[in-house]
Structure 1
Amino acid sequence: MEKNISKKNISIITLLRSSYNNMTKSEKKIADYILANEKSVMSQTISDLAVKAQSSEITVSRFCKKLGFNGLQSFKIALAGEVFSKDELLSQEINPHDSYKTIAEKLFSSIADGLQDTLKLLDFEEINKAVDLISKARQICVYGFGNSYTVCKDIETRFMRFGIPVKAYCDLHMQLTASSLLTQDDLIIAVSHTGSNIDLLQSIELAHDNKIPIIAITSYMNSPLCKLADVVLHGMGREVAYKSEAVASRLIHMAIVDVLYMGIYQYNVDKGFANIEKMRAAIAKRRL
């Protein structure tokens, strides 16, 4: 596999097959898996692919670079044009000339499909463990970056209604400070689409070392974040374009938060109802 092979002049499938004899044993495992699971690879992270191909993340990364790509994401973008038909690609991607109606149809369809997928993927024993941890926590810190932080703020706003001290952080220094000061009576909820954000992992590793309970809300089961969490809640959105990041998944993760919210409400209906009534009464004073 030469690094300077032109991707424009040869298909990815042909490139894999023609380079096969020159691959190492580990690289052949990766190639075999991709050739047998072309479409499945599209929704997998580097961690997922490494596990499925019985390899390591660094070997997958080197594999893609040897083929002439910057990494797995650019490899998948090139592969998508070959394994999906033109109609399949058009049905998933938002195009420059799409009408607002078409854009809405594509986005809403991907969200609806993602919700149904997540319903099948959710481990409800893990949901039960998460509700128990949240209900008993002395205080809760919620960590996330970028789009995931919008989910963190939603958690902060919703869970505050139960009288639980809760704070969302998107700053690494504040996360590290919290992870160093929290105790086993507290709780961290980490939200990450990929579960591979380096800054988030640094904060979570410190919390893990301090034996602080951790709940992860993420799209990928085999991510580094999942390996550090006590409870993993997995929700996967069907993205409408390979170059987009976590458009549907952000809403899927919020739906998981809604399930937790209702679970905590059921955990103590009387207290939850009383707090919500107090909140509504306070807010009502600010309306005309």
Structure 2
Amino acid sequence: MKKNTYLLPILRTAYESLTKSEKRIADCISADVTTFIGMGIAEIADRTDSSEITVNRFCKKLGFAGLQALKLALASVPSEEVISEEGFAKEDSYQHIAEKIFQNIQNGLADTLSLLDYDAVEEAVEALLAARRIVVFGVGNSATICQDFETRFLRFGSIVEAYSDVHQQATVASLLSAEDVVVAISHSGATREVLDTTAIGKAAGATVISITSRMGSPLAKLSDIVLIGMGREVRYRSEATASRLVHMAIIDILYTGIALRRKDYAANIAKMRTVIRVRKQ
């Protein structure tokens, strides 16, 4: 993990994977960053009802060498960087609703920009370029993102297929090889159906790329390449709307990276526009 990112987005995406003791340390940071920076390891352990070993483990889980490195990162967090969980109210005007939604999307994109591992992005682009076949797995809301992935990547002339049916996912995954790539998309990174079928694909030898919002999720641990993108969801909505748009933005990054590498991209787009233009007449 990069060390020059904003820390609070890292806390948000890693929070669900933390132990109860580690969550208390994260809550202590969120409650008062300045106070936390001023405390020693023994005081932190005492205040969070944990141990010094737990504090050190917490720091390393976030990607830092130790408490001092964590504090240096905390000190670099802009003072206006706060966690917003504002929900909706019945009396909200449509303008207010729109402002909240757009702000959450903007915050999610900004967080992802600081969180994204760009070495992993490059690895993903290389894997997708070399793939004989690309299969995309997701269920529920993530299924719409998978369909967008398929629609966009078909323009490269690649063999790319999106599956939301679990039985189809399992069948296809079992027939993959080391020449193939699985792209698994899950906001929580814990959806059992996606985990099961992705594991089948990995066992068959395929490279697994995951797009998820949870850094330490089961899907992230299962993957060869992990791309983290998260939105700051408001309490009223459980559909992870902002995260869905952030994940689509990550797909755009992969798409653009491949387009810049494919010499046949311009010719493919010209062919596509020619056949579509006929249908518009």
TM-score, scaled to structure 2? 0.72
Which of residues 147, 152, 156 is equivalent to 1:162?
156
Partner of 2:279: 286
Structure 2: stretches of 5+ with no match in the other structure = 1-18, 33-53, 59-81
Which residue of structure 2 lines up, in the alignment, with residue 147 of structure 1? 141
CA RMSD of aligned residues (A): 2.4
Aligned partner of 2:28 in structure 1 is 36
C-alpha distance after superposition, 1:124-182 (max 9, x if no partner): 11111111111111111000011111110000000000000111111111111011001
CA contact (8 A) 1:33 1:53 kept: no
Quote the Cα distance in structure 2 between the aligned partners of 1:110 and 1:225.
25
Aligned residue among 187, 190, 196 for 2:184: 190
Deviation at 1:245, TM superposition (A): 2.9
> What is the SS of the residue equivalent to 2:188?
coil
Write the letter of the residue equivalent to 1:286.
R
1:20-169 matched pairs, under 5 angstroms? 29=21, 32-33=24-25, 35-37=27-29, 92-169=86-163
| Distance in 2 (alpha carbons) for counterparts of 1:52 and 1:107 | 35
Contact 1:220–1:234 (8 Å) recurs in 2: yes
- Per-residue deviation at 1:242? 5.8
Partner of 1:74: none
Q: 1:182 and 1:277 mapped to 2: Cα distance? A: 31
| SS of equivalent residue, structure 2 residue 279 | coil
Runs of 4+ in 1 over 3 A off after TM superposition: 37-40, 51-55
SS in 2 for 1:188: strand
CA contact (8 A) 2:88 2:236 kept: no
TM-score by length of 1: 0.71
1:241 CA drift (Å)? 1.9
Are residue 258 (structure 1) and residue 224 (structure 2) matched?
no
- Aligned pairs, number: 219
For 2:50, the equivalent position in structure 1 comes to: none
Identity within the alignment, %: 44
Q: Which amino acid aligns with 2:28?
A: A
Distance 1:31 1:105, change over 3 A: closer
- For the 8 Å contact 2:132–2:180, the answer to whether it is kept is yes
- What is the CA–CA distance in structure 1 between the aligned matches of 2:97 and 2:184, rounded to whole Å? 31
CA distance change for structure 1 residues 96 and 272 in 2, over 3 Å: closer, same or farther?
same
2:112 partner letter = T
Code of the aligned partner of 2:155: R
Tell me if structure 2 keeps the 8 A contact 1:143–1:149. Answer: yes
Q: Secondary structure at the match of 2:194?
A: helix
Partner Cα separation in structure 2 for residue 171 and residue 223 of structure 1: 22
Paired with 1:116 and 1:141, the residues of 2 have a C-alpha distance of 29
Separation (CA, whole Å) in 1 of partners of 2:55 and 2:140: 28
Q: Which amino acid aligns with 2:204?
A: N
Does the alignment pair 1:203 with 2:206?
no
Are 1:30 and 1:53, in contact at CA under 8 Å, matched by a contact in 2? Answer: no
Question: Structure 2 vs 1, CA of residues 135 and 93 (structure 1 numbering), >3 Å: closer, same or farther?
Answer: same
Distance 1:119 1:169, change over 3 A: same
Taking the aligned partners of 1:52 and 1:148, their CA distance within structure 2 comes to: 35
Distance 1:31 1:207, change over 3 A: closer
User: Where does structure 1 lack aligned partners over 5 or more consecutive residues?
Assistant: 1-25, 41-50, 56-83
Q: 1:179 aligns with which of 173, 186, 209?
A: 173
Q: Structure 1: how far apart are the matches of 2:270 and 2:147?
A: 22
Q: Counterparts of 1:101 and 1:93 in 2: how far apart (Å)? A: 14
Which residue identity is paired with 2:25? Y
Aligned residue for 1:167, secondary structure, equals strand
Any idea what the Cα deviations from partners look like across 1:187-236, whole Å, max 9, x if unmatched? 11000001000111111111222221010000011000011111101111
Provide closer, same or farther for how the CA distance between residues 259 and 39 of structure 1 changes in structure 2, counting only shifts above 3 A: farther
Residues 257 and 32 (structure 1), Cα distance of their counterparts in 2 relative to 1, 3 Å cut: closer
Q: Aligned letter for 2:122? A: N
